[in-house]
Amino acid sequence: MPDQSAIMRMGRDLLVILHGDLDDRTVESIEREVTSEVARTSARGALIDVSGVDVIDSFVAQVLARLVRMVRLLGAEAAIVGIRPAVAITLVELGASMPEVTTALSAEQGMARLRRMRADDSARIDHGNHR
Amino acid sequence: MTDGPVALVEDLDYYTQMWNTIADYAVIKLDGEGLIRSWHTGAEHLTGYTAAEIIGQPAAVFYPAADAAAGLAGADLRAAAEAGTYATEGWRLRKDGTLYWASVALTAVSGRAGSAGGFGMIIHDLTVVREKALTLRGLGQLVNSIADIQVIRVDCDGLVRSWNPGAQKLTGYLAEEVIGHHVSMFYTEDDARSGVLDREMHAAVRDGSMEAEGWRIRKDGTRFWANVVLSPIRDDHGEVEGYVKVARDLTERREQDRLVQRQRDEILDLSTPVIQVWDKVLVLPLIGTLDSGRAARLTESLLERIAADQAEVVILDISGVPGIDSAVAQHLLETVEAARLMGTDSILSGVRPDTAQSMVHLGIELGGLRSRTSLRDALQLALRLVDERASSGDEAGVRA
């Protein structure tokens, strides 16, 4: 992973802080470490903070969408936080607006959304059981 | 050399040969009556007459009809006879009727003992020289009549070589204060230090001319925004001998441009207000037509406000928009997408029945965008969404 990137545990969730320049090599190590950490800790959610990433272009947008799918495959929810206004505009212009990915304004809001997604999920299951 | 007849003949040969090689002057001998007594190839070349045609004719044949009739030829000869020599310039006539501008020198020659006196007449065709001089004078007058534009000549070392009233008006300097001084005296200190002139001269030589805009300094120290065109002056061999520099004061136009830009910005700001109506809820009331410039501005200011206020929900109220076409809808959807990327939900409000019909007929796809007809309903929905999120997700919230 790039030097200043980090994975922190917050209760049953992980906070993944990405930093610096994301290229092919760093992306590979990020995917490896995030997936193994989600599995190892049996995390229920991963909040990915991209506010420290130098450049967010369509390549990085693909990487992020992929990372979210990997986390979901491991049974956890994922959300992205820290997309700045200029980056948001650029991604929409590039047609890389990651429609399937949950986003949040702040780490706090992001954590709340992860919890809500889980609650919706269990509510759906409960609802299904009652039927 | 002995002073004998042989030597005289040799001298004559010598002078005849020399005469015949003079091509652009006519050197003619006139007798005391003003009749032409000698001719040579240079004279034939200049006037078109052959010796056979001209020998014995009066000098008046060289004058234009009006001048000849006025007796100008005789007057010229009398002037020469009185003063010894007489020089004049004027139009003269060729055999074919065309005119040339001639410089004429007349010398009274007193005859040797026993022979009558006469005149030597030297005619030089100055038509081309006169044309050039007139052209130059015309150009000079032209340059001097330009009151508001600086037109100056600069040599290859950057020293000012000519000055015009426009330059004086523009900079406040008189000609004697600048001629021979380096043009960098009009530049800002930074420009003068960084060698702007050298770069401009280089570009002018490379591209044929160079146009630039920048600050220049007047004599009184105030500055003006100048449009400058620099063109190299080349000699007949193509070597650069200096530059013509034309400068105009565009300060006023620049101020106007900036004023218009500032007003346009202000209007855009006024036309894209973002209102915080509730904690974490923003309303963007859209009014008037949305062109792409306004739409981009709108998206930008909305996203900035979302980041600043940490808004969870944005209501886009389109009740003030006269019509939604596919371009406007595209702008709106992009704004919604960008807001979502930041983590903010959007609600469309103020959709009228006819707008709903035309949007569907146009095939505008709203995706997951929620829509309400009134701002009140939209606000209720927004508050529910915010509440729902605040309820920390421990229990299932209300679904929209």
DSSP class of residue B108 equals E
- The whole-number average pLDDT for the span B204-211 is 90
Most B-contacting residue of A44, A106, A109, A120 (CB-CB within 10 A), to test interface = A109
Question: Are residues A114 and A81 in contact, defined by beta-carbon separation less than 8 angstroms?
Answer: no
β-strand partners of B88: B104
Pick from A88, A106, A115: which is nearest to B394 by CB? A115
- The strand order across the sheet containing A6-10 reads A6-10, A13-20, A45-53, A77-81, A102-104
In B338-367, the residues whose Cβ lies within 8 Å of chain A are 338-344, 367
How far, in Å, CA of B28 to CA of B34, rounded?
A: 11
Confidence band, pLDDT 50/70/90 cuts, at residue B372: confident
How far, in Å, CA of B315 to CA of B381, rounded?
A: 10
DSSP code string of chain A: --TT-EEEEETTEEEEEEEE---HHHHHHHHHHHHHHHHHHT-SEEEEEEEEES---HHHHHHHHHHHHHHHHTT-EEEEE---HHHHHHHHHTT---TTSEEESSHHHHHHHHHHHHHHHHHHHHHHHH-
Token duo for residue B94: 């060729």
Q: List the domain boundaries for chain A.
A: 5-126
Give the model's pLDDT for residue B112.
66
Residue B230 φ then ψ, to 5°:
-115, 125
Separation in Å, CA of B334 to nearest CA in chain A: 6
* pLDDT over 70 percentage in chain B: 94
Residues of B in contact with A112 (CB under 8 A): 389-390, 392-393
Confidence band, pLDDT 50/70/90 cuts, at residue B281: very high
Give the model's pLDDT for residue B400.
37
How far, in Å, CA of B67 to CA of B54, rounded?
A: 19
Residue B224 φ then ψ, to 5°:
-135, 155
Q: Is the confidence at residue B399, as pLDDT, over 80?
A: no
Confidence band, pLDDT 50/70/90 cuts, at residue B397: very low
| Pairing assessment for the beta strands B118-125 and B25-31 based on DSSP bridges | antiparallel
Count the residues in chain A. Answer: 131
Radius of gyration of chain B, Cα coordinates, nearest whole angstrom: 44
Ranges of chain A whose pLDDT falls below 50: 131
The pTM of the full predicted model, rounded to 2 decimals, is: 0.49
Give the model's pLDDT for residue B396.
40
How far, in Å, CA of A69 to CA of A74, rounded?
A: 9
Chain A contact present for B330, CB below 8 A: no
DSSP class of residue B238 equals S
Question: Are residues B317 and B283 in contact, defined by beta-carbon separation less than 8 angstroms?
Answer: yes
Mapped onto helix, strand or coil, the DSSP state of residue B136 is: helix
Classify B324 in phi/psi space as left (phi over 0), alpha (psi -120 to 50) or beta: beta
pLDDT digits (tens, 9 = 90+) for B26-63: 888 898 888 998 888 888 888 899 989 999 999 889 99
Give the model's pLDDT for residue A125.
67
Question: Are residues B348 and B318 in contact, defined by beta-carbon separation less than 8 angstroms?
Answer: yes
pLDDT digits (tens, 9 = 90+) for A9-26: 888 899 999 988 888 888
Chain A contact present for B147, CB below 8 A: no
Question: Are residues B198 and B204 in contact, defined by beta-carbon separation less than 8 angstroms?
Answer: no
Q: Using the structure block, give the residue that is written with the tokens 């007949």.
A: B236
How far, in Å, CA of A72 to CA of A46, rounded?
A: 9
pLDDT digits (tens, 9 = 90+) for B74-96: 899 889 888 889 999 999 999 99
In A84-123, the residues whose Cβ lies within 8 Å of chain B are 84-85, 87-89, 91-93, 97-99, 103-106, 109-110, 112-120, 122-123
Give the model's pLDDT for residue B395.
42
Pick from B337, B388, B390: which is nearest to A92 by CB? B337
Residues of B in contact with A98 (CB under 8 A): 341
β-strand partners of B287: B320
- The whole-number average pLDDT for the span B235-263 is 89
DSSP class of residue B198 equals H
Please tell me which residue, B14 or A83, carries the higher pLDDT value. A83
Closest CA to B72 of B62, B85, B81, B82: B62
Q: Is the confidence at residue B264, as pLDDT, over 60?
A: yes
DSSP class of residue B282 equals E
Q: Is the confidence at residue B392, as pLDDT, over 70?
A: no
Partner-chain contact B338 A89, CB within 8 Å: yes
- The whole-number average pLDDT for the span B264-271 is 73
pLDDT digits (tens, 9 = 90+) for B148-207: 888 889 998 889 998 888 888 888 999 899 999 988 888 888 888 888 888 888 888 899
Closest CA to B175 of B196, B161, B188, B189: B161
- The whole-number average pLDDT for the span B105-132 is 83
Q: Is the confidence at residue B253, as pLDDT, over 60?
A: yes
Question: Of B201-210, B246-255, B282-291, where does mean pLDDT reach its minimum?
Answer: B282-291
Closest CA to A84 of A111, A54, A108, A63: A54
Closest CA to B227 of B264, B196, B253: B253
Give the model's pLDDT for residue A129.
53
Give the model's pLDDT for residue B63.
92
Token duo for residue B158: 């950057």
Question: Of B100-109, B197-206, B286-295, B347-356, where does mean pLDDT reach its minimum?
Answer: B286-295
DSSP class of residue B49 equals -
Separation in Å, CA of B331 to nearest CA in chain A: 10
Separation in Å, CA of B201 to nearest CA in chain A: 41
Question: Are residues B163 and B177 in contact, defined by beta-carbon separation less than 8 angstroms?
Answer: no
3-state secondary structure A30-66: HHHHHHHHHHHHCCCEEEEEEEEECCCCHHHHHHHHH
How far, in Å, CA of B292 to CA of B330, rounded?
A: 10
Residues of B in contact with A58 (CB under 8 A): none
DSSP class of residue B331 equals H
Question: Are residues B14 and B7 in contact, defined by beta-carbon separation less than 8 angstroms?
Answer: no
Give the model's pLDDT for residue B113.
59
Give the model's pLDDT for residue B114.
55
Give the model's pLDDT for residue A101.
86
Hey, which bits of B332-373 come out as E strands?
A: 345-349, 370-372
- The strand order across the sheet containing B313-320 reads B275-278, B281-287, B313-320, B345-349, B370-372
- The whole-number average pLDDT for the span B326-350 is 87
Domain A5-126 annotated CATH 1.10.8.50:
no
